[in-house]
């Protein structure tokens, strides 16, 4: 099957990951367990929305039909989204939110690091900006996972539960498809599967410090980044996120 | 109200630019020193306020007592000659 516009598809995946995780993270604003974490989560959400603007802005230019980053964020429905399933499932408790952030950050850091060498200079520039934030996110999320995993009996049990819940979703990050192959052939990006090894090393090291055991399964829920099948949760999330544009189409500041 | 398992309080000091000294900006709760640095980064430096952060556990600070104010500070008040206020500082010197 010939790909219509693999670069556009690739950029949607970058942007939608940041957008969906950013929105999920923003749901903690005002309700996090303590003030300091509330502020940190809001900062992280804003970092991710900022990254979204760069990725989707470029996606709109590549598509060439005049759609802006806002159009792509607010005027698409579930089936047009290209984010990982792991990022759209509900936050769960604070521990699961941190675990998800960590599993994603452990991929984002090496991924964005390598994208800085992309033959596409715009992508290299965006990656260089995003990787600095991703490094801080990884430091924060990994230390929180360790603190909670190696914490009380209750916090350890919650982190173990979070890991069990998220693990089947984490494999989707490393499933290559035709779009990934096209990007690799063009020197735009590496194949995500190349990062499975380094990612696993990071995750193993943190899990060991956090007194957690990695689930013994390679089964991967997928369909998010290809747009084939999202979970039931993304539609509900978009209904909240896009409510203004749905209620008042074309509304601007 | 304090909880028995509440994280300790930390005082945060930020240096705004190179060459300036660290300034007290506020306090926050954190489980340990590294955590306090990360929280301080998020709470106090997101508008590019700082190039360096110090944190110190509030309980470790020894403060002068308000009731000692008289003996500690009054003797210096009427010795104006100790204050270098009789000089004009050229503008090029910048912040002193």
CA torsion angle B15 B16 B17 B20 (round to 10) = -60
Contact A39 B34 (CB under 8 A): no
Residue A162: which of A179, A141, A186 has the closest Cα?
Answer: A141
Segment A219-230 shows an average pLDDT of: 88
Segment A196-201 shows an average pLDDT of: 96
Q: How many angstroms separate the CA atoms of B25 and A242, rounded?
A: 38
Segment A230-238 shows an average pLDDT of: 96
pLDDT classification of A2: cutoffs 50, 70, 90: low
What is the value of pTM for the model shown? Answer: 0.88
pLDDT at B3: 64
Contact B38 A34 (CB under 8 A): no
User: Could you say which of B7, B34, B43 has the minimum Cβ distance to residue A143?
Assistant: B34
| Domains in chain A, CATH or no CATH each | 6-213+221-247 (1.20.1260.10)
More confident residue, B83 or B53: B53
pLDDT at A12 over 60: yes
| Domains in chain B, CATH or no CATH each | 9-93 (3.10.20.520)
Segment A98-108 shows an average pLDDT of: 98
User: Could you say which of A36, A136, A139 has the minimum Cβ distance to residue B39?
Assistant: A36
pLDDT at B81: 76
Among B42, B44, B55, the residue to mutate for chain A (most A Cβ within 10 A): B42
More confident residue, B73 or A133: A133
Q: How many angstroms separate the CA atoms of B39 and B32, rounded?
A: 10
**HSE-CB for B37 with a 13 A CA cutoff:** 10
**Is residue B56 within 8 Å of B22, Cβ to Cβ?**
no
For residue A140, what is the nearest residue in chain B, using CA coordinates?
A: B38
**Is residue A127 within 8 Å of A118, Cβ to Cβ?**
yes
Beta-carbon contacts of residue A26 (< 8 Å; ≥ 6 apart) = A41, A42, A45, A49
Record the tokens describing residue B41, joined without a space.
């980064």
Segment B7-35 shows an average pLDDT of: 92
Segment B73-80 shows an average pLDDT of: 78
Q: Which residues of B touch A136 (CB under 8 A)?
A: 41
For residue B37, what is the nearest residue in chain A, using CA coordinates?
A: A140
> Is B14's Cβ below 8 Å from some Cβ in A?
no
Q: How many angstroms separate the CA atoms of A11 and A82, rounded?
A: 9
pLDDT classification of A167: cutoffs 50, 70, 90: very high
Q: How many angstroms separate the CA atoms of A13 and A178, rounded?
A: 13
> Is B33's Cβ below 8 Å from some Cβ in A?
no
Q: How many angstroms separate the CA atoms of A133 and B41, rounded?
A: 12
Q: Where is average pLDDT lowest: A2-16, A183-197, B63-77? A: B63-77
């Amino acid at each position: 099957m010939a790909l219509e516009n693999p670069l556009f598809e690739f950029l949607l995946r970058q942007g939608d990951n940041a957008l969906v995780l950013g929105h999920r993270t923003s749901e903690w604003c005002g309700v996090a367990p303590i003030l300091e974490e509330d502020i940190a989560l809001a900062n992280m959400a804003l970092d991710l929305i900022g990254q979204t603007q760069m990725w989707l802005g470029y996606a709109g230019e590549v598509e060439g039909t005049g759609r802006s980053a806002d159009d792509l964020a607010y005027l698409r429905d579930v089936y047009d989204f290209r984010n990982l399933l792991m990022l759209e499932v509900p936050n769960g408790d604070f521990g699961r939110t941190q675990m998800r952030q960590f599993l994603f950050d452990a991929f984002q850091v090496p991924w964005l690091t390598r994208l800085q060498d992309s033959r596409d200079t715009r992508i290299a520039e965006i990656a260089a900006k995003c990787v600095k934030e991703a490094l801080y996110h990884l430091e924060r999320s990994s230390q929180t996972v360790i603190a909670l995993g190696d914490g009380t009996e209750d916090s350890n049990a919650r982190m173990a539960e979070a890991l069990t819940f998220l693990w089947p979703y984490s494999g989707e990050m490393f499933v290559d498809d035709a779009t990934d192959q096209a990007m690799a052939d063009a020197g735009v990006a590496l194949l995500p599967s190349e990062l499975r090894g380094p990612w696993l090393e990071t995750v193993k090291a943190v899990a060991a410090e956090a007194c957690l055991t990695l689930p013994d399964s390679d089964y991967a829920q997928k369909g998010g980044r290809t747009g084939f099948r999202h979970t039931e949760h993304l539609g509900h999330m978009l209904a909240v996120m896009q409510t203004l544009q749905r209620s008042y189409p074309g509304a601007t500041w | 109200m304090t909880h028995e398992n509440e994280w300790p309080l930390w005082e945060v000091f930020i240096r705004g630019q190179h060459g300036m000294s660290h300034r007290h900006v506020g306090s926050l709760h954190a489980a340990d020193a590294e955590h306090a640095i990360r929280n301080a980064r998020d709470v106090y430096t997101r508008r590019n306020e700082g190039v360096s952060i110090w944190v110190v556990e509030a309980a470790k600070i020894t403060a002068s007592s308000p009731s000692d104010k008289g003996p500690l500070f009054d003797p210096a008040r009427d010795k104006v000659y100790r204050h270098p206020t009789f000089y004009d500082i050229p503008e090029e010197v910048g912040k002193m």
